[in-house]
Amino acid sequence: MDQTTQIQIILIVAFLLFLGFLGIIIFLLVRLATNQHYLKSARAELQEHNANLEIVIAERTRKLAVSEEKYRNLFLKSKEAIIIFNSRSGDILDVNEEATRLFKQTSDELNARTIRDIHLTDLDVDAQEVWNERVLELEDGSMKVVECLIGSTDEQNTQIMQAICRDITEKRDLEAQLAQSQKLIGLGLLAAGVAHELNNPLSSIYNSCYFIKDELPHPSAKVAKHLGIIESQIERCIKIIKDLLNFSSAPKMQMQLEHADVNEIVQRTLSLIEEEMHFANIKIETNYSELPAILIDTARLTAVIFNIIMNSMQAMPGGGKLTITTLSEKRTLQQEDDIASNIECNVIRIGDTGVGISQQNLPKLFTPFFTTKLKSGGLGMGLSVSYQIIKMFRGAILVKSELGKGTEFEIVMPIRT
């Protein structure tokens, strides 16, 4: 093989290698162009999915915000007090508006406290879904009867708990009033029977006493003294019987109803004993609000106000201050066998700075013959009769007191036109 042939062969091989490399380069360029097309399509598809995902996320975020706002409003506006707290540290994390009203503190003040500070430390964390009744003493000294339920807000985080409390003070007061009314009805029937049974023998004893006095025109001093004792005690018994009959017949007596101004009735009653109060060194403060006229038996209401004022005066033997306030507001009252809310009422509030009444004696206050004024000869019938009279008006007499600080009575009467 000559040299020319060898060169030709080498050139042919080189050309074939060149064509091979060229083919590979073309293939790679075509593949690259194809991949770029696919990449561009994938990028466009990815951008489309991303845009759709952003729309979905935005919609779900909006719905979540709406849901959160909804449940936040339910939490804040709930009629039951809700306290969120850490079960380990006791720190209060959040409270709703009802909790601030119940505990008479702002949300910031409550959030700075612990569950121990608001006297809920003895809640049984293990006894969930069980309502427990308790009496809370608030920082201003007032007492509230509440029902509390404790539970977890998150099953995954048992440290975060919630206490739900509902104020049942008014409900318990109404139940106590109903029980008192039922007890007084039974006592009234008993009192009527006893009074009628005692009337006849007392009349006989009274007549015999007068007969003895007529037969002994000039008795000895000792006999005259004992006859006087018999006569005075008979008169005392007659007064007791009269009070018993008044008590038992109060719900049955026909009322003389008329439209009257409560403020005028209060002022007229005060004028009857104003001078006596002055001599007893008792200052009188009156705060009258503008009240709508009320359909009432003015004579009986006057008797009730007079009786309560006299009780207040006797509770201040060394002098003091009597405050009488009238106002019109909505109240919840016991109406026969039902409880009615938001009733427009006229309220007479009579407060004194006297000796006060013990918590032990408060439930007995309207019971016939219960009295703490044995030395002054009190019979314990005045408040029970007053209670019956106000019940006839479908109202209520409420009382709160503290030993050494004084007593406040409230006469609550629904407005009837």
Enter the DSSP assignment of 91: B
151 and 299, same structural domain? no
The answer to whether the CB of 198 falls within 8 A of the CB of 237 is: yes
- pLDDT, the chain, mean: 78
pLDDT, greater one: 156 or 169: 169
Question: d(Cα 1, Cα 6) in Å, to the nearest integer?
Answer: 7
Strands (DSSP E) found in 153-199: 160-167
Cα distances (Å, whole numbers) of residue 114 to 90, 111, 123, 164, 305:
5, 8, 13, 15, 45
Q: What is the pLDDT at residue 250?
A: 53
80 CB burial (10 A radius; 0-12, 13-18, 19+): middle
Residue 15 in any domain: the answer is: no
Q: What is the pLDDT of residues 41-50, one digit of tens each?
A: 878 888 888 8
Q: Domain with 245 in it: what CATH number?
A: 1.10.287
Confidence band for 374, pLDDT divided at 50, 70 and 90: very low
Q: Do 291 and 402 lie in a common domain?
A: yes
At 329 the three-state DSSP class reads strand
Task: Please report, rounded to a whole number, the percentage of residues in the chain having pLDDT higher than 90.
Answer: 10
- What is the tally of structural domains in the chain? 3
Mean pLDDT value across residues 207-221: 78
Q: How far is CA 203 from the centre of its chain?
A: 51
Domain membership of residue 59 (yes or no) is: no
Task: Tell me the whole-structure pTM to 2 decimals.
Answer: 0.48
Specify whether 392 is located in the same domain as 308.
Answer: yes
Q: Are residues 94 and 183 in the same domain?
A: no
Percent of the chain at pLDDT above 70?
Answer: 80
pLDDT range class, residue 346, cuts 50, 70, 90:
very high
227 part of a folded domain:
yes
Give the long-range contacts of residues 73-82, CB within 8 A, separation 24 or more.
Answer: 79/166, 80/164, 80/165, 80/166, 81/146, 81/164, 81/165, 81/166, 81/167, 82/162, 82/163, 82/164, 82/165
Q: In angstroms, rounded to a whole number, what is the distance separating the alpha carbons of residues 99 and 167?
A: 10
Q: How confident is the model at residue 380 (pLDDT cuts 50, 70, 90)?
A: low
Tell me, yes or no, whether 91 lies in a domain: yes
Residue 307 lies in a domain: yes
Range of the domain at 366: 258-414
Per-residue pLDDT, 194: 67
Give dist(CA 401, CA 314) in Å, integer: 15
Which pLDDT value is given to residue 353?
Answer: 92
Residue type, 307: N
Residue 11 forms part of a structural domain: no
What is the CA 199 to chain-centroid distance, rounded? 46
